[in-house]
Structure 1
Amino acid sequence: MDAKILYMNGEYIPAERGFISVRSHGFAYGTGVFEGIRGYWNEEQKQVYLFRLREHYERLHRSCKIMRINLPYTVEQLIEHSVELVKRNEQQQDVYQRPVAYKSDEIIGVRLHGLHDDYLLTSEPMGNYVEIGGLRCGVSSWRRIDDNAIPARAKICGSYVNAAFAKTEAIQNGFDEAIMLNHEGHVSEGSAENIFLFQNGELITPAPSENILLGITRDTIIQLAQKELGINVRERQIDRTELYTADEIFLCGTGAQIAPVIEVDHNPVGNGTTGPIGQKLQDLYFDIVRGRNSKYLDWCTPVYSEVASPTK
């Protein structure tokens, strides 16, 4: 079912009325921030669960602060908008929500101060963003944006041109996805995903200083690896050649979910198939996001009031 309703500047309106001006600052200069939020349909419970909704909106507030955007809603109000929008669209399927706060003035001139800010939220049906059964990746010639150029810790609309260059290069070179290095040549992340390597019995992932987005799925994996699998997780610099010697690699993000990597630059990762650690985390993750694991129900915001008990 396509979305019929969206939320824009304090109103729920028909989706066909959801337009911004072609002269708006956010469109011309990319001066906006956004989030990507997934909702998962549980058929047995007849329920949509919005995953880690609070954390997404807390990050949206931080992105707005960096971009000098005045977001006139509290985290609690934003959560209410998300839940209500699924209800109004009568969605009983997996959904993807995109809240966007942006500079809306119709002016020519690059700046962040002294501009009007607007907000919108959409909720659309969505399946897998990337293949979750095994990705073939290439190290990109495009370097990851630097914090002193465009802060990677904020989800800034215009910054995703960097990801688009890397993604298109990867696809046109015959890969499924890109892996990006920072300006020092260390592994940063995928085109729009965080990255983990399993090596010598532990998970390693680039530190926040490597110009990564501080991913919510990344944080989820760190917690699950430590609590559920008893695996040590280290955040550190990762050299490019470690991609060729890792036992397992996987990308993660709200869109990508958990996507194992089976090849990097035509070199097989491990034995060239999904590894056991990535598979265990993927299975655990999909149980949790659909509200089937009672230990992690606090990460799942139910949309509909009537719901059966979780199965675990």
Structure 2
Amino acid sequence: MDLRAIGMGLAFALMWSSAFTSARMIVAEAAPLHALALRFLISGGLGVIIAFAMGQRARLTRSQWRATIVFGICQNALYLGLNFVAMQWVEASLAAIVASTMPLIVAFAGWLLFGEKVRPLGILGLSAGVIGVAVIMGSRLSEGVSLPGLALCGMGVLALSFATLSVRSASSGGNVLMIVGLQMLVGSACLGTVAAVAEPWHVTWSARLVTAFAYTTLVPGLAATWVWFTLVKRIGAVRAATFHFLNPFFGVAIAATLLHEGLEWADVLGVAIIAAGILAVQLSRQSERRMPVPVAPQAATQQG
């Protein structure tokens, strides 16, 4: 993995983790599904407009359309929709910790479904990641947590894992930003439909709400998603997914700073263990390997 990929991964993890704090601010003052549907409508519209200005067009193959729709539903509508609803009852830091288990699910699915081999050092690193997350999670659970909210976060990370395995073919073909915008519009349509039927509209306007919404729309929404697509295309889904191990650190740190959520010794210990796990996984993944794609593998292009 080159320095550019590492920089992209760190930037993505920071932007992605900050979304939990801004989401917590939003759902405290607005209906979560309505707010998220509007966020994706704006982000997706901007993405398509910018992509069009850059010469990109929505001329995708059938497999690319299928993967884009799957990603829009699983990552945007399911993963983020479930997390936005859960954030009404769980802390932003806890949601970030749950989401950080995604690389483990992706790696396990790669081994179980596609015959991906995991080296001993990689297994050690993934195990360290599990232990680190468990240390942090154990401390949080002992302090009391909403089980329904935690269950929603768990279902969301399963949807995110499936989306991660599907993103490979959607990012090929050179229309990255166009695809980012399109999958956001897919998510907006799904969430808007559900919100109209199942969620009463309410909003309490404030400067914090407007700032958090604007930030979430432009940074974690548009910029981070584009970086993620580009990173997956550069180094592959499983290797890119290891950067999610940084999310407990960034998620807890940002929430503690902006939302004054508690930061305990277990958080520090867990982050240190997870950091060691990241190093082990990255060292075990230095050699290039090809990651099979669950949808339209024949459409896959070169993988870094």
The structure with the greater share of residues assigned to helix is: 2
State the structure with bigger RCO (CA 8 A, min sep 6), 1 or 2.
2
The structure with the greater share of residues assigned to strand is: 1
The structure having more radius of gyration, on CA atoms, is 1
* TM score, norm. by length of structure 1: 0.26
* TM score, norm. by length of structure 2: 0.26
